Structure 1
């Protein structure tokens, strides 16, 4: 192994029952880390299907474990995406030191050769930037939307109503932004390929483990923004992403309860219970408008079955009980 100096990156690759994809992603990440100081840690998120053993054996057979560039560890429970990433961040570098940057990578995402270096170099050059995210495209080469505004009550209404006049009136509240062609500051971006400044994480903490899936990176970016950190979209950094392999989101016939719970908790934590209620009422109003358009104009079903009923059911009552605001990170920053 060639010793490298300079700012270090810990790439965290989270696996949940996708060992073959995880190994493919790790291979791409190793190539992208070729000239980047740091390591890769694969975290098996308590898959319970032999994934950990499969990945570890394959990594051993390929000589990765002896390279000093890759480790395979296991979480003792599946607390969701954020909890699994917290495990990886807490692992730090093999030396016990903290890296300068954490790079979060989905198991179904495959970085191009310069992707990790591009994000690292951007954060080095922009000290107020806490996050840098990639241009993401699918197997078909088409770009995925990964640049967003923070959710709001107005945005909830616009999202649900799906009606041109409201979208024009509320254009500054639309959550999903057109894919930027240039490097652009945004509110938040998806965690499929996302680099975080370690100093920021040690200041504000890691992921809030109350979220199981969805809204966790949104809340982390929101918390960071309140502390003065910026989030940027860096199109020079590129990954191919299959999307929703572990969660099955593309195949949902009904939205799982944890999505509604995470949505409600996000609004409650960031804006308070009254605002969370207002956001839900705005979403219900928008869904009602779309329902009327379906009835009168024959518009297609745009949401999974029973979405409105499930939204209301999960928006009242005790809600999620906060767990860890952020896992403590045991590695000591340099």
Structure 2
């Protein structure tokens, strides 16, 4: 329900950052879902960064902004290169409109649709909880079904739980598993999905921007860990609902995802996360832990004639980018080969 201006609570400036690479249709749908929010939250501005799409995406987004009357609150910035999600997000934040100083930054994937009231719910929570530096929304899948999870930080124990695929191990290590089930109340968590992540500007002041050494994956995990280490809290806020069409781009997540082979950037991001945040010795231990239990799983699968759900060459690709090596070896193809670029950053 729209409130008359005199009755609206004081609003804090919010910059909404969206990164596009050849997904103009998704971006336009995301902007359309934001239009109603911004009618009642007039201190929000949206910056879309086009990561050098070269397919006309930027032009089509600009046309939609102009033709649908969104120019007062949405703008597009063209990047000279496709530097990945963290790079595009940092560029969006740095490209806030002149004189607009955001108190909060909301990261949104292009394949999201914002449910009514989500922006107000996130900002209301952040203003009521000054120690909350980061907040994530409840995520719905493409069918509107709630995905009731947030996350714990990866660790050696979580690598054992992830690789073992054994109920007994998962029960013993349930408090270490990365995937954490959450309920219907706001919950303090380790990290939340970058598909919908609200960040207090003071966090960026304290720890700096997202790490652009991540092309895709683990960048939000790393950011939340850095914030946690200087005292900022991260929360899951279920009153803010966002639909995320997960897996429509990469095929690595979402219902029915079938992955023929994991791309190099996933392994590189994982290695970078462990080495950067815990040191190479810890990263080596995490790698050895996963490889050991994964090998045990493969033996058990063979002995019990179980189906093989793993992507092709999983173990050899993992080893090629492992911290066991002084430098990661390319398990697939050059990084600048278009076929190695994740589909979030290319046409599907």
* TM-score normalised over the length of structure 1: 0.91
Q: Give the SS at the match of 1:189.
A: coil
- Identify if the C-alpha distance between structure 1 residues 262 and 193 changes in structure 2 by more than 3 Å, giving closer, same or farther: same
Note if 1:35 corresponds to 2:40: yes
Note if 1:155 corresponds to 2:155: no
Question: Of the candidates 284, 287, 294, which is equivalent to residue 280 of structure 1?
Answer: 287
- Determine the structure 2 residue equivalent to 1:226: 229
Give the Cα–Cα distance (whole angstroms) in 2 for the partners of residues 248 and 76 of structure 1.
Answer: 27
Give the Cα–Cα distance (whole angstroms) in 2 for the partners of residues 33 and 298 of structure 1.
Answer: 55
The equivalences for 1:66-85 within 5 A come to 68-85=72-89
Q: Give the SS at the match of 1:172.
A: coil
Give the Cα–Cα distance (whole angstroms) in 2 for the partners of residues 182 and 225 of structure 1.
Answer: 21
Alpha-carbon RMSD: 1.7
Note if 1:112 corresponds to 2:115: yes
Q: Give the SS at the match of 1:34.
A: helix
The structure showing larger relative contact order (alpha-carbon pairs under 8 Å, at least 6 residues apart) is: 1
The equivalences for 1:129-144 within 5 A come to 129-144=132-147
Deviations 1:183-231 (A, max 9, x none): 1000001111110001111111110000000000000000000010010
Note if 1:289 corresponds to 2:306: no
How far did 1:170 drift? 1.2
Q: Is the 8 A contact 2:13 2:100 kept in 1?
A: no
Deviates more, 1:221-230 or 1:173-182: 173-182
- Determine the structure 2 residue equivalent to 1:14: 19
The equivalences for 1:264-275 within 5 A come to 264-275=271-282
The equivalences for 1:1-334 within 5 A come to 6-36=11-41, 37-65=43-71, 68-92=72-96, 94-144=97-147, 146-249=149-252, 250-315=257-322, 316-319=325-328
How many residues get paired?
316
How far did 1:143 drift? 2.5
How far did 1:296 drift? 1.4
Give the Cα–Cα distance (whole angstroms) in 1 for the partners of residues 36 and 18 of structure 2.
Answer: 14
Q: Is the 8 A contact 1:18 1:246 kept in 2?
A: no
Give the Cα–Cα distance (whole angstroms) in 1 for the partners of residues 250 and 160 of structure 2.
Answer: 26
- Identify if the C-alpha distance between structure 1 residues 298 and 96 changes in structure 2 by more than 3 Å, giving closer, same or farther: farther
**Unpaired runs of at least 5, structure 1:** 321-334
Q: Give the SS at the match of 1:231.
A: strand
Q: Give the SS at the match of 1:173.
A: coil
How far did 1:244 drift? 3.1
How far did 1:145 drift? 5.3
* TM-score normalised over the length of structure 2: 0.87
How far did 1:33 drift? 2.4
Give the Cα–Cα distance (whole angstroms) in 2 for the partners of residues 177 and 210 of structure 1.
Answer: 26
Give the Cα–Cα distance (whole angstroms) in 1 for the partners of residues 273 and 148 of structure 2.
Answer: 20
Q: Give the SS at the match of 1:182.
A: coil
How far did 1:274 drift? 0.3
